[in-house]
């Protein structure tokens, strides 16, 4: 062995993010963007809700409809 320390805390492979699951609750997000149309194209996802997405998951998976609807109910 070379005696080099292996840094187990620094993973060169980022955590796998399932783009089919909501980054906030983990439920299926039912995103249809890859098919060309999605429910989220027709609704406003508030910036305040988007800001709750952990930094490492931003822009990688859509928030689900349930989280958006729950947010709107709580903020009205």
- What is the per-residue pLDDT across 48-63, written as a single tens digit (0 to 9) for each? 999 999 998 888 889 9
Q: What is the pLDDT of residue 73?
A: 92
**How do the residues of the chain divide into helix, strand and coil, expressed in percent and rounded to 5?**
35, 5, 65
Task: Give which of 74, 71, 67 is closest to 24, Cα–Cα.
Answer: 67
**Cβ pair 70, 45 in contact under 8 A:** no
Q: What is the pLDDT of residues 4-50, one digit of tens each?
A: 444 444 444 456 889 899 999 999 999 888 888 888 888 889 999 99
Tokens standing for residue 69: 């609807």
The pTM for the full model equals 0.72
Q: What is the pLDDT of residue 39?
A: 85
């Amino acid at each position: 062995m070379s005696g080099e320390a292996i840094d187990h805390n620094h993973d060169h492979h980022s955590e796998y993010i399932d783009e089919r699951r909501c980054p906030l609750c983990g439920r299926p997000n039912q995103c249809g963007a890859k098919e060309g149309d999605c429910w989220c194209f027709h609704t406003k996802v508030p910036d305040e809700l988007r800001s709750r997405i952990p930094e490492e998951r931003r822009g990688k998976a859509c928030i689900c409809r349930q989280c958006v609807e729950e947010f709107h109910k709580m903020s009205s």
